[in-house]
Amino acid sequence: MILISACLAGINCRYDGGSKQIVEIEKLIKEGKAVLVCPEQLGGLPTPRIPCEIRDGDGRSVLEKSAAVYNREGANLTDCFIRGAEETLKIAKLYGVEKAILKARSPSCGKDRIYDGSFQKKVTHGDGVTAALLRKHGILVLDEEDFREYI
């Protein structure tokens, strides 16, 4: 089974109430290979919601409590992001997931590159909180830009 960000399957769970559907993901679902998750909803955040970014670090530093996640209005929502990552990991373990396809650049799902906390559409190096936790537990994290090379 492959863990997949629900917004890539056309589920309207993004902060703006929309999705980013990818055609090839539908095939994986129809073949019974996909488990869909939205870590931010699992963490208790509403949809739509005010966009969030990690400030002064990345998902790994959020898990280590040396960085935090804020929404654009300055509210600290770090606990929701950590809870969402932990619930996602729980689902991944229940299904014996070894690979995940997550949404690029999200403060939860992004891998290697995320928005930098300035809300200026600037990207910096690092993982989102869920991507960091899944990687810590040995799950191969891909995104919608590179998964075709591995699936």
State the residues that interact with ligand SF4 by CB under 6 A.
5-7, 13-14, 38-40, 103, 106, 108-109
How far is residue 66's CA from residue 79's CA, in Å, rounded to a whole number? 13
Q: Which of 149, 124, 150 is nearest to 53 (CA)?
A: 124
Least Å from the CB of residue 86 to ligand SF4: 14
Shortest separation between residue 13's beta carbon and ligand SF4, angstroms: 4
Q: How far is the CB of 21 from ligand SF4 (least distance, A)?
A: 11
| Locus of tokens 């910096």 | 124
Cβ proximity to ligand SF4, 12 vs 61, nearer residue:
12
In whole angstroms, the minimum distance from the beta carbon of 5 to ligand SF4 comes to 4
Identify which of residues 6 and 67 has a Cβ nearer to ligand SF4 in the complex: 6
Q: CB neighbours of 46 closer than 8 A, spacing ≥ 6?
A: none
Q: Nearest approach, Cβ of 102 to ligand SF4 (angstroms)?
A: 6
